[in-house]
Chains A and B, each alone.
Chain A
Amino acid sequence: MAATDVDVFSNEEKRSLSLGGHVGFDSLPDQLVSKSVTQGFCFNILCVGETGIGKSTLMNTLFNTTFENEEASHYQNGVYLRPRTYDLQESNVHLKLTIVDTVGFGDQINKEESYKPIVDYIDTQFENYLQEELKIKRSLFNYHDTRIHICLYFIAPTGHSLKSLDLVTMKKLDSKVNIIPIIAKADTISKSELHKFKIKIMSELVSNGVQIYQFPTDDDAVAEINSSMNAHLPFAVVGSVEEVKVGNKTVRARQYPWGVVQVENESHCDFVKLREMLIRVNMEDLREQTHARHYELYRRCKLEEMGFKDTDPDSQPFSLQETYEAKRKEFLGDLQRKEEEMRQMFVNKVKETEAELKEKERELHDKFEQLKRMHQDEKRKVEEKRKDLEEEINAFNTRKVAAETLSLSQPLKKDKDRKN
């Protein structure tokens, strides 16, 4: 092909042609599938809900296995996220499943900051992926994608409406992750109450502009089932890993004195619907949405923040490299300036402390001189006192001697007097 053809190529209209025979590129999807199967799949679920609402039990029920989990306590100081990765296999398909739990959510008395750790976690996963993408030597196909594909938001079955914390958190999350709200522990709501509750929740979400995940209706194969499922949101689920004998079968259920709630019975709860939608039909779509919508939004915001633009004021496409170089120079210049400042500060501080130390030394010296002088004064005084004391003692002794001699001569005198 000549060089000129290459330039015109992009503007040319594509013509569709009909084939004369079977070429064979209809096997492309199969090749893709076999490649994905060998690579293995990866899926990340984030479970947000109060402590004890049934997140771990539902995960166990969904994947029909027991992920090790200790009960969380209600007395955490804040919310923190606990990601756990498991390797599952079904037929010949490998799944690397990561379940992220929110520990301590909804337990604090002041819940204003509760959504922050969750948002930060999601952003961090996006950031890691972005970093990997921007690397010079990158290996995206090998990269363990930790971005959250789905957020299951567990709503407490109060029967009235959403809680204020739920509304605030979902609003913060709806632009970052696919949210599917579910009503947890649904065996405490009767059918009529459930209907009203679902309508109330959906109307509250709509009126507050919260965008939850809608099952895709553009693919013909699944459009019908997806659109009917959309009408059943939020799903009212019951989870259980215990098996109960009902009739002549053993099913997963919860046994009450008044009856048995079967998890997989569609008239009891929407668990089967959730499993269909989440795992069997739309898992791949969830991953795509995460990458194509949420991740792209994050990437765009992040790069705009850093100062990158797609077109500069002259409408010429900016090259990423040039912008990058310019940014780098600016950044290095900033660093140098900061270093200079810090050095100056350091030098100043050293001077100040030196001056202070000198002052203190002088003071100490003065004090020492003063003390010495005082000491000498004291010594002199003590000397004088000693001298006085000695004189007194001498005087006393002489008086004593005089008194004794007097007393000796006294009786003589008396004798003399008597004699006289």
Chain B
Amino acid sequence: MTTNTRYKNRPVKAEDGEEKEYVGFATLPNQVHRKSVKKGFDFTLMVAGESGLGKSTLVNSLFLTDLHKDRKLLNAEERIHQTVEITKHTVDIEEKGVKLKLTIVDTPGFGDAVNNTECWKPITDYIDQQFEQYFRDESGLNRKNIQDNRVHCCLYFIPPFGHGLRPVDVEFMKALQDKVNVVPLISKADCLTPTEIRKMKDRVREEIEKFGIKVYQFPDCDSDEDEEFKQQDRELKESTPFAVIGSNTVVEARGQRVRGRLYPWGIVEVENQSHCDFVKLRNMLIRTHMHDLKDITCDVHYENYRAQCIQQMTSKLTQDNRVESPIPILQLSTPDVETEKLIKMKDEELRRMQEMLQKMQQQMHEQDL
């Protein structure tokens, strides 16, 4: 599909060399564009990480809005026994006629308590809930207005103060790797010098491989793309995990007003590629790979969930012998385990009987002799 749509429509030469006939389905991309603009897009982004790592600031910087106007931050003693909550903020933003319904799912309280065992459970439960709801809606009778609340991407913030991934980071990513696209980020990167950033990225990549964590992989670009695009793509892949800095303030730097952080020793510009990978993250998340993230959520994570769900339900049904589900179950063509066992047993018995018969025949034969 990919190569074909990128090719310009080659004119079809008729057999007897007549004038080229222009069919006209080259306008399909434009039609798709028009329809999609009319329909509007939606995207659900989840941010997870300990408090104080700059999650809200980064989201504000990414979408250039202020989502968390009146936030109440908890004190340390209130956080000793805190449980993880899930909060949703939905905004409708528009750019050049394209409407985007953006939902940010925040996870305040993650990793803040003294005992953080299974602190990711509320998050996985939330994601499963969204999948289940979509599953029910999809199997319902009226499918006109299905609300897609499935989480398309989860940005996980790794603190830059350590030497790499910590046990809680590893456990969280492993718990979520099969349910959502996990994009790890190194947060507050203005505390690391360029050498330290490189070391940290290498460390994190090594540990991700060592622990077998399946993070979101950028799709490979096609072989017929031009060199520049391929080079960009390669650079993008080599600079994961992105080291990001966010800012809520606009400062004056080099004669321009930019988003940045003002220090006594200099100004950190958020959109400066040599300062941090914010631009790469924004391009990846919004400008190039947003739809790919949605596709993988639909095609891979959701399908996994659906298959699991159905399997569980059917095995439960054959055990209970009750037909009571909102979803019509097709007759299973494969025999299930019980009957197979019975068949095997009967085969064994038959074989044994045959052998005994043979033996007796032989004996009688010998006796006759």
Contact = CB atoms under 8 A, between A and B. Distances in A.
Genuine A/B complex: yes
Interface of A: 50-54, 71-75, 107-112, 114, 156-168, 184-185, 187-188, 190-191, 204, 208, 254-262, 267-268
Given A51-B163, A114-B114, A156-B161, 4 more contacts: A109-B167, A163-B112, A184-B161, A187-B263
Contacts of B113: 164
Nearest to A71: B163
Contacts of B188: 157, 188
B162 A74 contact: yes
A372 B115 CA distance: 66
B215 interface: no
B264 interface: yes
A109 B167 CA distance: 7
Q: 5 tightest A-B contacts by CB?
A: A259-B266, A158-B52, A52-B162, A188-B191, A259-B265
A52 B77 contact: no
Interface string B227-271: 000000000000000000000000000000000011111111100
B171 interface: yes
A146 to B, nearest CB: 29
Contacts, number: 132
B319 interface: no
Nearest to B190: A188
A184 B28 CA distance: 58
Q: Quick one: which of B52, B112, B117 has the most chain A CB within 10 A? A: B52
B89 interface: no
Interface in B181-205: 188, 190-191, 193-194
Q: Quick one: which of B50, B265, B267 has the most chain A CB within 10 A? A: B265
A160 B274 CA distance: 27
Q: Quick one: which of B76, B77, B159, B190 has the most chain A CB within 10 A? A: B76
B101 interface: no
Contact of A52 (B119, B163, B262, B268): B163
Nearest to A262: B265
Given A160-B51, A164-B82, A51 B76 contact: no
A53 B165 contact: no
B167 A160 contact: no
Interface in B35-74: 50-53, 73
B265 A158 contact: no
B166 A107 contact: yes
Q: Quick one: which of B53, B117, B160, B191 has the most chain A CB within 10 A? A: B191
A256 B266 contact: yes
B306 interface: no
29 contacts: A50-B161, A52-B161, A52-B162, A52-B163, A71-B163, A109-B116, A109-B117, A109-B119, A109-B171, A110-B116, A110-B117, A111-B115, A112-B115, A156-B159, A161-B76, A164-B77, A164-B82, A164-B112, A164-B113, A185-B191, A188-B160, A204-B77, A254-B193, A256-B194, A257-B272, A258-B266, A261-B263, A262-B265, A267-B264
A344 to B, nearest CB: 45
Contact of B269 (A51, A111, A184, A258): A258
A164 B50 CA distance: 12
Contact of A258 (B77, B117, B268): B268
A400 B115 CA distance: 94
Contact of B114 (A50, A54, A165): A165
B193 A158 contact: no
B163 A190 contact: no
Nearest to B195: A255
B114 A166 contact: no
Contacts of B162: 50-53, 74
Contact of B263 (A71, A110, A190): A190
A160 B73 contact: yes
B79 A257 contact: no
A71 B164 CA distance: 11
B80 interface: yes
B211 to A, nearest CB: 10
Contacts of B79: 163-164
